Amino acid sequence: MSSRRTRARGMTLIELVIAVLILGIGLAGVLLAYSTVTRGSSDPVVRKQLLAIAEEMLEEIQLKPYTVAANAAPGGCARNTWNDLLDYHGYATTNQVCTIDGTPIGALAGYSVSVSVTAATLGGLSAARRIDVTVRRGSDQLTLTGWRLDYAS
């Protein structure tokens, strides 16, 4: 009879614990990366909303007459009595966006708007106004700049 040694097959308990530990650490890393990606996936939506609000406000301002005209002062964040560009200078809201008649838009709570209209020179034309519309939400901010010329004079 020959004595043959049979070799044990399989894993020991220590090897099994180490394998589970390595797999657990790897899975935790993958889940952390996935969590970071999904948390940031709403940022494009916020960015598009910032852009839409700024574009709407800039268009509203650019459609107003260049020449200063007398008007009644509205209350709150209403803009329905404003009738020229300079009425918008200094306009600002905090954590709300309002319709032109001053009604806050509930779906846009948390967004803030500020407007600056200043005299400027554009391409040698001194009768120009620079319009800066800044929209914020949390740490996100977007500024659009537009120009309006006094083409009537």
Per-residue pLDDT of the chain (153 residues; tens, 9 = 90+): 555 666 767 788 999 999 999 999 999 999 998 888 777 666 788 899 999 999 999 999 999 998 888 887 767 789 998 989 999 999 999 999 999 999 999 999 999 999 999 999 888 888 899 999 999 999 899 999 999 998 765
Angle formed at CA 48 by CA 39 and CA 56, multiple of 5 degrees: 150
User: CA–CA distance from 65 to each of 18, 49, 68, 73, 76 (Å)?
Assistant: 75, 27, 8, 17, 23
pTM over 0.75, yes/no = no
Backbone angles phi, psi at 77, to 5 degrees: -105, 20
Q: How many residues does the chain have?
A: 153
